[in-house]
Amino acid sequence: MPREILPELRTMEAYTAQNKREISATFCRKPGNKRLFVANHVGGEEGSVESLDCASAFGQSDRIGDVHTHPTTADTIGILPSQDDMFTTLVDSFNNNMAQVSCITNDQTPLVECYKPKGVPTRQELDIYRNELHKAEVGEPGFYMDRAGADFDIEFYDRQTGKHIPHPKASGIVQAAFGNSHEVLRKNVTSLEHTGFCEYVRAFTAPRREDVTAECVNQLRKQRILGFVDV
């Protein structure tokens, strides 16, 4: 997480807290300069926002990545990246011929999640991800679950300081992923689906950590998020 843009993050988080809509900012770097700066931004809807290039008003600059917010509503899964989020990052990486860093935050999470493709995708790989995105949008995210850990590096950062947290506690990861989404979980996940849902959470947060799945299942049961829905 680039610490240079932490003040801008506070502004974005406040915007989303007030408006319950996502907002995206693009961070860029001038040639020969190590410092990053926000070179574009745009407001979105409750569940989506555009990903912009570096604005030409700032002259020549290289796009390094972006950060966007997720509202802290009952219908939003915390800072868990969506398949559309990950596909957009792949598109941006392809268009800029540089693997892009994408981060997600809000005004309540203690953690910021960032993810970056392990390389610039080929057009063929991008087409495969695009086709699989259509399946994910109708409830079949299996391809993205299987590929997230293989094709992306996923890291966590302290929201207040921007400091990298190399091995956050499983409880913190799950808390950040859930956010305030008790209502959506109650509607869409039954007790028989606890483990499957938690494997989904693990895939997009810490693919190699079995303790995240276990902690997720524990929190679903312990907090009785699903009320009396059993099947």
Q: What is the DSSP string of the chain?
A: --GGGHHHHHHHHHHHHHH---EEEEEEE-TT---EEEEEEEE--SS----PPPPGGG-S-EEEEEEEE---STTS-TTPPPHHHHHHHHHHHHHHTSPPEEEEE-SS-SEEEEEEESSPPPHHHHHHHHHHHHHHTTT--HHHHHHHHHHEEEEEEETTT--EESS--HHHHHHHHHTTTHHHHHHH--GGGHHHHHHHHHHTT-TT-HHHHHHHHHHHHHTTTTTT---
Written as one letter, the residue type at 206 is A
What CATH code would you report for 3-169? 3.40.140
pTM metric for this prediction: 0.90
Would you kindly state where each structural domain of the chain is located, as residue ranges?
Answer: 3-169
Report pLDDT digits (tens) over 142-182: 999 999 999 999 999 999 999 999 999 999 999 999 888 76
pLDDT of the residue at 229? 43
Q: Could you give the count of Cα atoms lying within 13 Å of 37 in the half-sphere of its Cβ?
A: 12
pLDDT at position 223: 61
Residue 7: the pLDDT is: 85
Q: What pLDDT is attached to residue 230?
A: 44
Query: Which residue, 174, 183, 49, is CA-closest to 109?
Result: 174
Q: What is the DSSP string of 17-69?
A: HHH---EEEEEEE-TT---EEEEEEEE--SS----PPPPGGG-S-EEEEEEEE
State the pLDDT at residue 8.
Answer: 87
For position 183, what pLDDT does the model report?
65
Walk along the chain (231 residues) and give the pLDDT tens digit of each residue: 767 778 888 999 999 999 999 999 999 999 988 899 999 999 999 888 999 999 999 999 999 999 999 998 777 788 999 999 999 999 999 999 999 999 999 998 999 999 999 999 999 999 999 999 999 998 899 999 999 999 999 999 999 999 999 999 999 999 999 888 766 676 677 777 888 999 999 999 999 999 999 999 888 877 655 444 443
Q: Is residue 185 a contact partner of residue 226, using CB atoms and an 8 Å limit?
A: yes
Instruction: List, for residues 82-102, the tens digit of each pLDDT value.
Output: 999 999 999 999 999 999 999
pLDDT given for residue 193 in this prediction? 82
pLDDT of the residue at 179 = 85
What's residue 6's pLDDT? 83
